[in-house]
């Protein structure tokens, strides 16, 4: 698709449209994830958007540290970054996205602004998680990235990358160096016990800087982690002006008025999340689907008598991949084998075997292993405390 660039000689731009491509990428599926980003950019171009913002890890589907030792993925990621940059020469929207990048100091998790066929700027994430220190290098406190709107106007973007939003140092430095808008690109986890952590962090950064903030949050799931989604935009008074639904892939369009003393966020579409119980169910479906996919299971196995969990499993992977097993059925081969072993050892009929809960669990695990299925509902995985949150246990 070819786009005609807007010129200040022929068009006065009273406002600028910035979209968020809230994607739900698959880990390591770089071609598929790149295709989703391209589709989002084409949709943004039809709205005459000037910028498409992608959440953290939208291209790779996993944190940069997770592919640090995967030379093949790093090489393919580098090629796709170059392609993205080249594609922005078509006159369409600029693209803001994250990717691992080899620097003179080492591998860094960077955010890149591509516009008009070139890299307008990039910044390395300033703060690292403790487990990332061995594989990634941190960047300095960043300055704004320049988004060209027309020949006489540049919008200075204060991009806050990942966990940099949790402390004031990066956002304050961006504001002091001339940023006009904060943009948070992040992949925060879904946590039903503390759903407003990201919102509270963003509100604090707005109050400290006096700048509006656009948040692009990743959706989908990566094995043991469900991403929250729910991207949003707050004006400088911390009022919610636009938002997407949580957990799922979605798009958010925001409009910003260009004024002599800066920019102002206009009203947009606000989408309110479903009730907490529905959110927990949706998150568990994504979690189960990701576990089956990442661990290469053939399906899900659960014991009879758990209709709610059965319904969630069917929603997650489909009815053909869900196996419901009766405990007595699971125990038959285990007890038969144990009986034969005792008979050969004692040379006599063994005493009646008492079925304890631990034996039942062992039988279920044996059945799941034999069928190459993910076992759920039998204890084990309990990410947020099932008794408090209502999140069904899985193992």
What pLDDT, on a 0 to 100 scale, did the predictor assign at position 359?
A: 62
Strand pairing class (118-124; 145-150): unpaired
Is residue 27 located within the same domain as residue 78? yes
CATH number at residue 354: 3.40.50.620
Range 276-299 burial, b when 16+ CB lie within 10 A, else e: eeebbbbbbbbbbbbbbebeebeb
The confidence score (pLDDT) of residue 170 equals 97
Nearest CA to 287 out of 378, 188, 189 is that of 189
Interatomic CA distance for residues 331 and 345, integer angstroms:
21
Same-domain status, 268 and 286: no
**Model confidence, pTM:** 0.83
Burial class (CB in 10 A: 0-12, 13-18, 19+), 269: exposed
pLDDT given for residue 316 in this prediction = 86
- pLDDT averaged over every residue in the chain: 85
How much is the pLDDT for 11?
Answer: 44
pLDDT of residue 328: 62
Residues 283 and 370 occupy one common structural domain: yes
Helix intervals (H) in the chain: 30-46, 71-87, 168-176, 197-209, 276-294, 307-317, 327-346, 357-371, 386-389
Q: Which of 251, 273, 295 is the last residue in one of the domains?
A: 273
* Residue 2 pLDDT: 38
Q: For the residues of 120-176, what is the DSSP string, one character each?
A: EEEEE-S---GGGTTT--PPPPP--EEEEEETTEEEEEEEEEGGGGGSHHHHHHHHH
Q: How many domains does the chain have?
A: 2
Range of the domain at 341: 277-394
Are residues 169 and 76 located together in one domain of the fold?
A: yes
Of 219, 239, 212, give the one whose Cα is nearest residue 16: 212
Domain with residue 202: its CATH number is: 3.60.110.10
Q: Low-confidence residues of the chain, pLDDT below 70?
A: 1-13, 151, 327-361, 363, 378-395
**What pLDDT shows up at residue 330?**
57
Tell me which of 273, 293, 326 is where a domain ends: 273
Query: Given its phi and psi angles, is residue 167 left (phi above 0), alpha (psi -120 to 50 degrees) or beta?
Result: beta
202 and 267 housed in the same domain: yes
Q: What integer pLDDT is reported at residue 327 of this predicted model?
A: 66
pLDDT in the model for residue 353: 45
pLDDT digits (tens, 9 = 90+) for 16-40: 999 999 999 998 899 999 999 999 9
Residue 384: predicted pLDDT: 38
């Amino acid at each position: 698709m070819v786009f005609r660039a807007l010129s200040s000689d022929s068009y006065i731009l009273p406002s600028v449209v910035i979209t968020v491509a809230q994607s739900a990428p698959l880990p390591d599926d770089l071609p598929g994830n790149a295709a989703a980003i391209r589709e989002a950019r084409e949709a943004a171009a039809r709205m005459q958007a000037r910028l498409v913002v992608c959440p953290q890890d939208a291209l790779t589907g996993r944190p940069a540290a997770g592919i640090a030792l995967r030379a093949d993925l790093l090489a393919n990621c580098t090629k796709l970054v170059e392609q993205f940059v080249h594609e922005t020469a078509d006159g369409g929207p600029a693209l803001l996205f994250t990717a691992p990048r080899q620097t003179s100091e080492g591998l860094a998790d960077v955010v890149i602004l591509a516009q008009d066929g070139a890299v307008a700027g990039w910044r390395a994430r300033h703060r690292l998680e403790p487990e990332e220190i061995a594989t990634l290098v941190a960047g300095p406190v960043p300055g704004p990235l320049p988004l060209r709107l027309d020949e006489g106007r540049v919008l200075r973007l204060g991009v806050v990358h990942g966990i940099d939003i949790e402390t004031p140092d990066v956002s304050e430095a961006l504001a002091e160096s001339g940023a006009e808008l904060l943009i948070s690109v992040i992949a925060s986890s879904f946590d039903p016990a503390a759903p407003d952590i990201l919102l509270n962090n963003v509100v604090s950064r707005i109050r400290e800087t006096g700048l509006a903030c656009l948040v692009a949050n990743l959706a989908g799931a990566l094995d043991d982690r469900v991403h929250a989604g729910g991207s949003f935009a707050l004006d400088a008074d911390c009022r919610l002006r636009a938002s997407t639904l949580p957990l799922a892939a979605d798009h958010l369009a925001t409009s910003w008025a260009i004024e002599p003393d800066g920019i102002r966020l206009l009203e947009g579409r606000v989408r309110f999340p479903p009730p907490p119980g529905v959110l927990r169910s949706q998150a568990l479906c994504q979690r189960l689907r990701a576990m089956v996919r990442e661990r290469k299971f053939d399906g899900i196995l659960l014991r009879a008598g758990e209709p709610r969990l059965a319904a969630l499993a069917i929603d997650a992977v489909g009815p053909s991949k869900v196996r419901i097993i009766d405990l007595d059925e699971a125990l038959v081969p285990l007890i038969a084998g144990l009986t034969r072993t005792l008979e050969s050892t004692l040379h006599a009929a063994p005493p009646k075997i008492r079925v304890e809960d631990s034996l039942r669990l062992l039988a279920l695990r044996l059945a799941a292993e034999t069928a190459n299925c993910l076992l759920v509902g039998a204890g084990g995985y309990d990410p947020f405390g099932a008794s408090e949150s209502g999140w069904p246990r899985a193992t």
